[in-house]
Structure 1
Amino acid sequence: MELQVLPLAVTMMAGPQIVAAVILVTTARPVRVGLAFLLGVVIATAAGVALARGIFALLGQSVTPGSPSDRGAAGTIVQLVLVGLLALVAVKNVVRRRTVEPPKWLGSLLEASPRKALTTGFLLILLMPSDIVVMLTVGANLEQHKAGLTEALPFIAATVLIAAMPLLVCLLLGDRARRAMPRLREWLTTHSWVVNVAACLIFIVLILAP
């Protein structure tokens, strides 16, 4: 799979996804809910990539992104449209940064059960527009190179590793991390626009990179 795996994985978890992971490790049962969240992320990412590859396999090469040098390819047009949309989203986040409020469901995660954490991880990946775009990109790349789903394992593993970072930090640093995580949670909640803008910029770079 000829894609920059780590930036794509970062984009997958940038936004409410990583905020949710941080919130879950500040609950009373951080390990149980954290592992459940990661399971949801694994299932959703693997299913999303498999579905995306299947879609492009059915539609054929006519919609599979072509070479960046082929300006007549339909894929190039799609890429330029995506860049424009991502740029608009980034600008919107900057303009509305003082009025944007965190989703109410984020606060409810403080009392999340393992089942709710699993569902949250699953739905955040499958329903987040930026994640859908990333998984479609990976699926299209797999189909273009006639690669099996095993070729997407590095991408899936990198996504899960980034999702696991808050839990790993808590396990490794113990009390120091548990004291710091609530402050990080508050910062991410009030500055979610920064994370969203960063995700948009990373994906724009990935799209435009040769």
Structure 2
Amino acid sequence: MSFLTVLPLAVVMVAGPQFLSAVFLATSRDWRRNSALFVSGAAVSISAVVALTYLLGGVSAVGGEGSNGPLSTVVVVLIVAAMISTFLGRAESEPPKWMGKLERASPRFSFRLGFLLLGVFPTDIVTSVAVGSYLAANDLPLVDAAPFVALTLLLLALPSLAVALLGARAETLLPRVRDWMHDSAWVVNEVVLAFFLVLVLT
């Protein structure tokens, strides 16, 4: 998968409460450990979903009339469902109540949050399943998903990297990024999902 394909997929993975959580954790008391465990949990769940989908996709492609048919249909349905869900939820302006706990998050909570947000959040499931299905349908090795996983994790780590590199200046920058992401997340999701829908159909 090319960088131009991987970049929008990685963006849609983190657009929303995923990146907001990373920002909150980067400003928490034990930010280094919490951020590292948050990204680690995300790495485990993303890799697991992609790998499982890849293995199941490879099995379902065997003996079929074409490796792209059934898989592409499933992926298209999932993407359209995610687009509808994102649009219907666009008016939700309040962040989840659990975000208020992130400033005092424990290491265990941070890991679990990363695992769940990137593993069971609807748009993330759709994206990871789409990546695994795409690789399976095109007889590409599973290792080709590595750039997608790595870039997603890098985006999640940006808030903590900003704190490490910018210090006090990050305290001014991160709230602005957080507010923009909160206000624009649904638009970003829709654009990227539409892009991937076109990619699957062509």
TM-score, normalized by the shorter chain, greater than 0.5: yes
Asked if residue 149 in structure 1 is aligned to residue 155 in structure 2, the reply is: no
Structure 1: runs of 5 or more not aligned: 67-72
State the distance in 1 between where 2:59 and 2:6 align.
25
Asked if residue 16 in structure 1 is aligned to residue 17 in structure 2, the reply is: yes
Q: Which residue of structure 1 aligns with residue 47 of structure 2?
A: 46
Asked if residue 205 in structure 1 is aligned to residue 195 in structure 2, the reply is: yes
After TM superposition, give the deviation of residue 167 of structure 1 in Å: 0.9
State the distance in 1 between where 2:187 and 2:11 align.
13
Q: Which residue of structure 1 aligns with residue 31 of structure 2?
A: 30
State the distance in 2 between where 1:148 and 1:40 align.
24
Structure 2: runs of 5 or more not aligned: none
After TM superposition, give the deviation of residue 197 of structure 1 in Å: 2.9
Q: Find 1:172's aligned residue among 165, 168, 171.
A: 165
Residue deviations 1:62-109 (CA, integer Å, cap 9, x gap): 59872xxxxxx4455445534543442343234x24xx4211111111
* C-alpha spacing 1:49/1:64, structure 2 compared with 1 (3 Å): farther
Q: Which residue of structure 2 aligns with residue 194 of structure 1?
A: 184
Q: Which amino acid aligns with 1:172?
A: L
Structure number having the greater helix percentage: 2
- The 5-angstrom pairing of residues 103-114 of structure 1 reads 103-114=96-107
* More displaced stretch, 155-164 vs 48-57: 48-57
State the distance in 2 between where 1:54 and 1:29 align.
38
* C-alpha spacing 1:85/1:178, structure 2 compared with 1 (3 Å): same
* C-alpha spacing 1:63/1:181, structure 2 compared with 1 (3 Å): farther
Aligned residues of 1:26 and 1:182 also touching (Cα < 8 A): no
- TM-score after normalising by structure 1: 0.83
Q: Which amino acid aligns with 1:132?
A: I
State the distance in 2 between where 1:16 and 1:172 align.
23
- Count residues in correspondence: 198
State the distance in 2 between where 1:20 and 1:12 align.
13
Identical counterparts, % of pairs: 34
Aligned residues of 2:67 and 2:138 also touching (Cα < 8 A): no
* More displaced stretch, 158-167 vs 52-61: 52-61
After TM superposition, give the deviation of residue 58 of structure 1 in Å: 2.7
Please report the RMSD computed on the Cα atoms of aligned residues, expressed in angstroms: 2.4
State the distance in 1 between where 2:65 and 2:14 align.
26
Q: Which amino acid aligns with 1:152?
A: A
* More displaced stretch, 198-207 vs 151-160: 198-207
Q: Which amino acid aligns with 1:47?
A: A
Q: Which amino acid aligns with 1:119?
A: R
* More displaced stretch, 200-209 vs 113-122: 200-209
- SS of 1:4's equivalent in the other structure is helix
After TM superposition, give the deviation of residue 142 of structure 1 in Å: 1.7
Residue deviations 1:14-38 (CA, integer Å, cap 9, x gap): 1111110001011112111111111
